[in-house]
Amino acid sequence: MIKTILYIAIGGAIGSVLRYLTSVFVNKYWANHFPLATFITNVLGCFLIGILIGILEKNNLANSNLKWFLITGFCGGYTTFSTFGFENYTLFQNNNSLLAFGYIALSVLLGLFAVWLGLFVSK
């Protein structure tokens, strides 16, 4: 278990730093009112998790330490939106469209409410 946690921690650290660098780069060249850096990070993270899971599954490495490092660690550190995207993709693939749409709606709405509530409580 300690070994798995280390893989996740190292991957997460790398992903978090890359997220920061993505924001710095995007905001340096395309600063505007739209949160483009976060948007690019989320879309790129979803693309990366798709590629990485596909490669891991194709090479029978879906239950390896590489998965913990790349998927949970790196992609999770870069953006948890990639996991959210993959989970919804899986729900749709398993013919659970109603559950997927509910998950999407509740995540967005309750997430926004939680931000508002957190700000309200902190004041």
Q: CA of 113: how far to CAs of 81, 98, 109, 110, 118, in Å?
A: 18, 22, 6, 5, 8
The DSSP 8-state label assigned to residue 33 in this structure reads S
**Residue 79 labeled ligand binder:** yes
Of the candidates 40, 105, 49, which has an alpha carbon nearest to the alpha carbon of residue 76? 49
Q: Name the binding residues.
A: 76, 79
Q: Name the binding residues for Na(+).
A: 76, 79
